[in-house]
Structure 1
Amino acid sequence: MPTATIPSGTQVVQELPFKWKVQGTIFIIGGLGFMFDAWDVTLNGALIPLVAAEWGLDRPTAALLGTSNLVGMAIGAFLWGGIADKYGRKNAFSLTLLMFSVFTVLGALSPNFGFFVAFRFLAGVGLGGCIPVDYALVGEFTPSKLRGRVLTAMDGWWPIGAALSFFVSGWVMATAENWRLILAVMILPAFMVFLVRLKMPESPLFLAAKGREAEARAVIDDLVRRTGATPRDYAIEAAPTGRGPRWWEQVVELWRYSAKLTATSWLLFITVLLVYYLALTWLPTILTEAGMAQSASFFATAVMALMGLLGVVIAALLVERVGRKWLLGISAPLAGIVLIIVAVSLDAPATAVAWILVFGVVVQVAIPVLYAYVSELYPTELRASGFGWASTMSRFAAGFGPLLFAALWPIVGLPWLFAGATALVILAVLFMARFAPETRGLDLH
């Protein structure tokens, strides 16, 4: 057989049948890390009013809690993305949750607000690596014909984590009235997931790209055997020449690879996730100030997050039919418009809550498509860092956004603040339409 006709190891992996005991297990373990990311980010919205009450903080000062956590996640996203591209998905896959667990314990023991902000920052650095590393690893084990659907379904873990965060917060405060226990509840399951991740295989695409042929073949042959596929000859891609970029050089490599794709990724992440994080951070406070009881505001926001599961299902069903760009281009601006309607409906709490639930569905159509789309724009050697840097930019925007939001809220009002955020989403979508390709059905490389 001529060499040119022999498939690569990457092609073999991406053409395997999907089995729940193989690729499905990786999807579940990766998704649990994503669930904790959602749980922790969402927790800021619950902790801000509780911590403010305990330590007598004003709104802008209390908002520093969310800022420190999200900025930590921003730094963690590019740090861990670079580590995953250089040292392997598996190592980063495990250590992100270990670091998060350690500093969450310390956060629960904080003696004052200053220590609490510092520990929430460091926990964020650990957890910030979950999204880029998890998406890179799950995507590289998934058959290409199902990759868009599987990566989109990954976001189903987000509304589960977000809903758990608010439900647990409401339950703990109703029974124990101690916000420190809200953090403690997260620690044991997060550490258990860390232990499970130690048994995960390394990505064969990463091993092949690094020239570790024997290890790559061992993983690929095991995948072929476990999925019941017919064994066939394949070639391991030649290792790239020269050393890969150091972590601080990753951003330069991304812009050198494609300025248009990197700009598209950053703009979409910044704007779409800013809208979502603003809602998660401030909706409990907004509803409470509109006259709703605190426990009821937690419950309403939890149900909104849980409604996101319906959005993820819709996205998973449509992403391969409609394509990434069209689905994202419609759902992302629509989510912002719904949030504006929420802001102008606060005088009628029942109506506002109904629109909040609609927002929970629509925004979770946009976000999983965004994650799947950006993870497909880069080659293997830049995939984790490309996604990680885009996530970094979104976390910086979402971290400092609440501070600006708290300052402008009494000046311009909620409807105009949400309208401004929606306008930014529309600009990002127009940039994507002009400069980025559709990735539906493309093989990863």
Structure 2
Amino acid sequence: MSDAENTLKNGEIDPFRRPAELSDDGDVNSTHKEDVLSLEHTDPVLHAKMHLINNAIDEIGFTGYQTKLFILNGFGYAVDSLVLLIQSVIASKAALEFHPSYDTALTIAAYCGMLAGALFWGMSADIIGRKFAFNFSLIFCSVFAIVAGASPSWPVLGTFIALCSFGAGGNLVLDTAVFLEYLPSKQQWLLTLMAAWWGVGQLIAGLFAWAFIPNFSCQDPTIFPDAAPCTRGINWGWRYVWFASGALVFVMSIARVSVIRLKETPKYLIGEGKDAEVVETLQEIATKYNRPCSLTLASLEACGIIDSQVRRNSVAHASKRASLAEIGLHLRGLFTTRRIGTSTAMIWFSWTLIGLAYPLYTVLLPKYLESRGAAVGTTSEYIQWRNYAIINMCGIFGPIPAGFMCETRLGRKYTMVIGALTTMVFLFAYTQVRTAAQNLGFNCAINFCLNIYYGTLYAYTPEVLPSAHRGTGNGFAVGFNRVMGILSAIIAEEADPRTAVPIYICAALYVVMALVAALFPFEPRGSRSS
């Protein structure tokens, strides 16, 4: 019996579909795994075609194409964290030159840009496709990152940071979707591992700060009373950070359009009713890497016609793409059933919580380190920024154990629980830091454990969202995260960075995150994304 016949009976899902087959080593044969939302689809024909596409991707297996996507999509992760951290580490030096009335304005500008970028690029991914954002978002970001370094005033700097962040803001939304929709189910854990690129971006930000800020910056008159007035001529350090970052992002953007010529993802194309293009794309990959692919146009057409092709009760698009109805359709699609709606709401809530906890910690961290510098023996600015780079490097390694843990019996859900709770423990312990070694060690541990949770949440989100609405759902999740980032900047402006109260608040939020993760209605381990 063919896959199409096995999945469908008279255009409906066959309730007597054969069970998962076992391979010789006892593992479930990936070409017969259940799709994670298999019982939630409202369009049985679309579900059947998705099932055939998953079978074809599993049959082709992991190739050099996915390896390139892992690296090129990873660039987007790195740029997101790079831009967010740069604006926070250069803010105090730029403020010495511009004397702003609102110190955290740059953080607010960055998160406003990230918010707009997440919503714009996320919804555009569902409306016009994933390919456009993949090719152009980093180029847009790089241009304004370079220009930001030439800013003549605080408001202009904030404007360029917002525009740079707009370009970077869609990458967390698109990178996961593009990589996932080409990824064989056996390697879906790599989506968690890809979050290591977030740590790479943090490390780059820390290294640039370490290289340029101590050597090419004004002295702070509150620390050095005899410091000369801060002028542009002696305060190029923060500008060099932006120039270097912008140049690096530009190189990444060129690599995206030259190393690989990305074709639109098969799961987006199938929602468009473009069955022939789906077959052509997958067959081309199979041929290039000498892999089998039994998917044919006939097998897809045998499933029937999906609603989007007749524009009646469509699950993929409204009658007019550029309309509020189109946006409304994608939002409703995230709440099609009670279980999908519950999952969507809980994911958005999790992103909201970490959107407050993580930025509050990172925005206050440089100030907190400075306020404790004398107590822990790190009076040198050079040592402070060296430690900052080391702390950020530790974030690279968190997603590595997370990637392996999520494929064990812990699954995605309890990997997040462990990541959140261990982060909470170290955050509470951090308030007792008294020495330079403790200060560095606890910060490294926090960054490592935090990225176990964050990296898994990054992967879990697109895995359990319906493919036709994946960009919108992911975009709003990241959007809620950015809203809380703006709120964290306002809190940081009013909070006393010398106290441990913000650290306690962050720790308590991770307890809530762990509880929510444990209650998620879907566990993708052993299943395939829809």
TM-score range (shorter-chain normalised) is over 0.9
Higher helix content, 1 or 2: 1
Query: Quick one: structure 1 residues 249 and 340, their matched pair in 2 at CA, closer, same or farther if it must change by over 3 Å?
Result: farther
- Supply the distance in 1 between the matched residues of 2:405 and 2:114 (Cα, whole angstroms): 30
Task: Give aligned-pair identity as a percent.
Answer: 23
Q: Give deviations 1:133-168, integer Å, cap 9, x for gaps.
A: 010000111101111x21011111111110110111
Counterpart of 2:81 in structure 1 is: 38
1:421 maps onto 2:480 in alignment: no
2:442 to 336, 355, 364: 355
Map of 1:160 onto structure 2: 200
1:254 corresponds to? 334
Q: What's the secondary structure of 1:192's corresponding residue?
A: helix
Tell me the CA shift for residue 252 of structure 1. 4.6
Aligned-pair CA distance for 1:48: 1.8
Equivalents in 2 of 1:343, 1:100: separation in Å?
A: 37
Q: For residues 332 and 254 of structure 2, what CA distance do their matches in structure 1 show? A: 34
> Normalization by structure 2: what TM-score?
0.78
Looking at structure 2, the residues matched to 176 and 408 of structure 1 have their Cα atoms a distance apart, in angstroms, of 29
CA contact (8 A) 2:214 2:381 kept: no
Cα separation, partners in 2 of 1:336 and 1:68, compared to 1, 3 Å: farther
Flag as ranges the 4+ runs of structure 1 deviating above 6 A.
none
**Equivalent residues, number:** 438
Instruction: Output the CA distance in 2 between the equivalents of 1:335 and 1:320.
Output: 21
Distance 1:295 1:284 in 2: 13
Q: What is the SS of the residue equivalent to 2:495?
A: helix
> What runs of 5+ residues in structure 2 fail to find an aligned partner?
8-50, 218-235, 312-316, 319-324
1:226 shift after superposition: 2.8
Note closer, same or farther for the CA distance 1:361–1:111 as it changes in structure 2 (3 Å cut): same
2:254 alignment counterpart: 195
Q: Does 1:28 align with 2:71?
A: yes
Q: Is the 8 A contact 1:290 1:349 kept in 2?
A: no
Find the counterpart in structure 2 of residue 279 from structure 1: 361
Residue 403 (structure 2) aligned to one of 316, 321, 342? 316
Q: Which of 45, 53, 57 pairs up with 1:9?
A: 53
Q: Which residues in structure 2 correspond to 1:74-153 (within 5 Å)?
A: 74-147=115-188, 149-153=189-193
1:326 aligned onto 2:406 = no
CA distance in 2, matches of 1:62, 1:391: 25
Question: Aligned residue for 2:350?
Answer: 268
133-142 or 29-38, which deviates more: 29-38
1:423-438 equivalent positions in 2, closer than 5 A: 423-438=508-523
Q: Is the alpha carbon distance of 1:437 and 1:165 closer, same or farther for their aligned partners in structure 2, counting shifts above 3 Å? A: same
Q: Distance in 2 between matches of 1:332 and 1:273?
A: 14
C-alpha separation in 1, matches of 2:88 and 2:57: 41
**Counterpart residue number, 2:93:** 50
Structure 1 counterpart of 2:137, which letter? T
Query: What's the counterpart of residue 228 of structure 2?
Result: none
Distance 1:128 1:423 in 2: 27
| Partner AA of 2:240 in structure 1 | L
**What is the CA–CA distance in structure 1 between the aligned matches of 2:95 and 2:284, rounded to whole Å?**
53
Shift of 1:128: 0.4
Helix, strand or coil at the partner of 1:92: helix
**Deviation sequence 1:214-237 (CA, Å, 0-9, x none):** 222211101222333223144337
- Note the alpha carbon deviations across 1:251-275, whole angstroms, 9 max, x for none: 4543455331122111211223432
Alignment of 1:368-383 (within 5 A): 368-383=455-470
- 2: CA distance between counterparts of 1:251 and 1:208? 19
Query: Structure 1 14/379 Cα, relative in aligned 2: closer, same or farther at 3 Å?
Result: farther
Q: Which runs of 5+ in 1 are unaligned?
A: none
2:416/2:456 contact within 8 Å kept: yes
Which residue number corresponds to residue 207 of structure 1?
A: 269
Q: CA RMSD in A?
A: 2.1
* Counterparts in 2 of 1:216 and 1:233: CA distance versus 1, 3 Å: closer
Q: CA contact under 8 A between 2:364 and 2:492: conserved in structure 1?
A: no
Q: How does 1:216-231 map to 2 (within 5 A)?
A: 216-231=278-293
